[in-house]
Every structure is written in structure tokens, then in C-alpha cells.
Amino acid sequence: MPLTDAAVRNAKPGEKPTRLFDGGGLYLEISTAGGKWWRLKYRFNGKEKRISLGVYPAIGLKDARERRDKAKKELAKGVDPGEARKAQKAATLDRAANSFEVIAREWFARQKPGWASGHADKIIQRLEKDVFPWLGGRPVAEIAAPELLTVLRRIEERGAHDTAHRALQNCGQVFRYAVATGRAERDPSGDLRGALPPVKHEHYAAITDPVKMGELLRAIDGFQGTFIVKCALLLAPMLFVRPGELRLAEWSGFNLEKAEWRYLVTKTKTEHLVPLPTQAVAILRELHALTGQRQHVFPGRDPHKPMSGAAINAALRRMGYDTRTEITGHGFRAMARTILHEELQVKPEVIEHQLAHRVPDTLGTAYNRTKFLKERRTMMQQWADYLVCMKQGAQVIPLPAQG
């Protein structure tokens, strides 16, 4: 007799596992603990086999019968439903193993050792926030250009146009890695070339007028904040390194006798050398008396950690400067690059090497910490002297251009 919902619901466990048959090979197996499983008994190539059709009550009598009928149709076509399930499960596992997120995290893990920590953090956060929620579970080989574009449009809608372009670039890198490792056949991101409107990049706010620069230097000289932050402010325009590199400076990298500072460029992980003008050495010697026994030149509230990344900009705002439109910590680099070239006639390649920018030479060397070292020493002292004159409001006569 076919089973009824009431019979299934009221079935009680016995001392041994019991079976209630519904017909067509479908039966309900009841364990001694009371668990109820739907089973299907069938024959394939002369052999008796069984497969599970689910657990009651998650799978009711009606659902179990539908699953039985589906299996019967497969048998009628010469397909073993048990083997078909195994193949489907394997395919599902394979799709999960080759999902966009799995491939992206694998690519990220391989690339991360060669990146600065800040750069790596931005990439993985961008993927986790803007890409994985929509594409993470999709098989990487099945993602098409329109689906990727939908994700990028979602980023654009909140006004993050630059992030959308960067997300497209990162996705393209993931797809190309998938192609290279045999998990995809092509990179769909290439089909989106021109689909996103170009981004107008804004430069860091910087003061490049000598008169206004003198006003800024006098404001720094009169800064009423902590001595540590004031020293950082005094050195920022003089050494014009990246703000993060100044903030993270460690005493172990300084040789005040040789007037040199060596450190690893966070962006490229290459060694860089900064010749120190006499004014910088004087500031550092004075600061050494306060922080010289610590790791960081500019420690923060926690003496074991460097000062906050917002300290320089906060100090500039405290002095009345708008860090969005007038000057920012990073803007000291643009200030030095512009005035050194236009006012002091220093050769651009010398300035670029001191900025630790990529400047390939005839041998293809992108970075060379000792290139133009003699000229750079002269330039750094000339620049520091120039800043002193500007702060005092004196007129500076440029030296002859370096040969």
C-alpha cells in the first residue's frame, strides 16, 4: 500500500531499523534512534543498488516521490542515478574550487610578498568589499563581460570612479592568472575597454609659489604642537620623502656622522638613500636626545609605535591650511620637484632619483640608490639653504645649472 503523510509522520522507531515501502522502490527507513531517511532501491546492469533521497521531514512524501520519478527517468535512459549524482557532486566541488574568490585569493597570496603592505591591503579590501559579494562564488570560467560590468557599475553609482577602474584592473589580473593556470579560457575584462568613463586624477595639494612657501615655512617654525610632530613638519619639506616613509622612519636607518638616511621604499621594496643637509642633521640630533632610545624616530602616543598617519595633515590644518586645496603632507614632494627644477635649475633626472621614482637608465635599471649621488648631496644642501632663505623672506639667486 502507498504511504500516507500521516503514516510517515507517526512512524515510530523499533528495536531494529524498520522500512516502510511506498512502491516503485521508494521506502522510508527508520533508525532505532528515530531518524527517518528516504531510500530508493533499483537495479542497474543486473545489480541491486540504493541511493538516498533525503531526510524526513526536510523532504516530505511528495518530494521523495518526485525524486524517485526523476531517478526512474534516468534509468529509462540508461543512466545510473547513483553515478549521475556522484558526477554532479564532483562537478559542484570543481566549480567551488575554481570560483572567482578562490582563484583571486590564490593570485593575491602569490603576489602579496612583492607588494608593500599598504598596497596589498587596499587590493584585498577592494575585492572583498566590491567584487566577492557578487562574483566570489561564480566559477571563474563562466563569468562574462556584462556580468563583470554590472559589478563595476555598482561601484560607479556611489561615485567611486577610480575604485571602479582599479577593480577592473585587479579582476583582469585574476582572470589572466586563471587562464595561465588552466582554470579559464579567456579574460573577459579586456572586452570592457572603454566601457568605464575615464577618471580625472587630482594631484595632491601643493604650494609651488616661493612667496607662499615662505609663509608656510614660517608657520611651521611657529607650530605650537608637540616637539616630535614639529620636527616631522620641519623635515617634511626639507627631505620631501613620502609621508609614510617619514612617519615610519627608524633610527637604525640613520648615520648622522655620514649625514645619510637609508631605508626601504615601501612602494617598491628597494633601498633608497637620502643625503641629509646640515639643517636636517641638526634637527635629528636634537630629536635623538628625546627618541633616540626608541625604534621609531617619530613615536606616537604608544612609544612602541610610530606617530599617526594623519599627524602631519592634522598639524597643517591646525596651522590654518586646507589639506584638500592648499597643502598636504604628500604635497611637499611636488613643491620640491617644481621649485628645484624651475627656480634652482636642477636637472630633472637628479630630482627624480631623489624622489625614488622609476627612472630607467641605459642598462634598464629602474632604481639606483647611488645614481647621481654627488649631485644629489649638493642639491639637498642647496634646497635646505633655499628653504632657510625663503623662511627669512630673502631673495634667492639660483646657482648655475649642474653640468
DSSP, residue by residue, 343-357: TT---HHHHHHHTT-
DSSP, residue by residue, 99-118: BHHHHHHHHHHHHGGGS-HH
Q: What's the rounded Cα separation, in Å, for the pair 82 and 88?
A: 10
- What does residue 102 show for φ and ψ, rounded to 5 degrees? -60, -45
Q: What's the rounded Cα separation, in Å, for the pair 354 and 53?
A: 71
- Other CB atoms within a 10 A radius of the CB of residue 78 amount to 8
CA 238, distance to chain mean position in Å, is 31
Q: What's the rounded Cα separation, in Å, for the pair 297 and 291?
A: 6
**C-beta of residue 291 within 8 angstroms of C-beta of residue 297:** yes
Is the N-terminal amide bond of 306 cis, ω within 30° of 0?
A: no
**C-beta of residue 235 within 8 angstroms of C-beta of residue 247:** no
In the numeric block, which cell numbers belong to residue 203? 594631484
- Which residues belong to the active site? 242, 267, 330, 333, 357, 367
Q: What's the rounded Cα separation, in Å, for the pair 375 and 369?
A: 13
DSSP, residue by residue, 292-308: TTSSBSSB-SSTTSBPP
In the numeric block, which cell numbers belong to residue 403? 653640468
Collapse the DSSP code of 93 into the 3-class scheme (helix H, G, I; strand E, B; otherwise coil) and give the result.
Answer: helix
DSSP designation for 323: T
Q: What b/e sequence results for 227-264 when a residue is b if at least 16 CB atoms lie within 10 Å of its CB, and e otherwise?
A: ebbbbbbbbbbbbbbbbbbbbbbebebbeeeebbbebe
- Cβ within 8 Å of residue 366, ≥6 positions away: 358, 359, 360
Q: What's the rounded Cα separation, in Å, for the pair 322 and 63?
A: 67
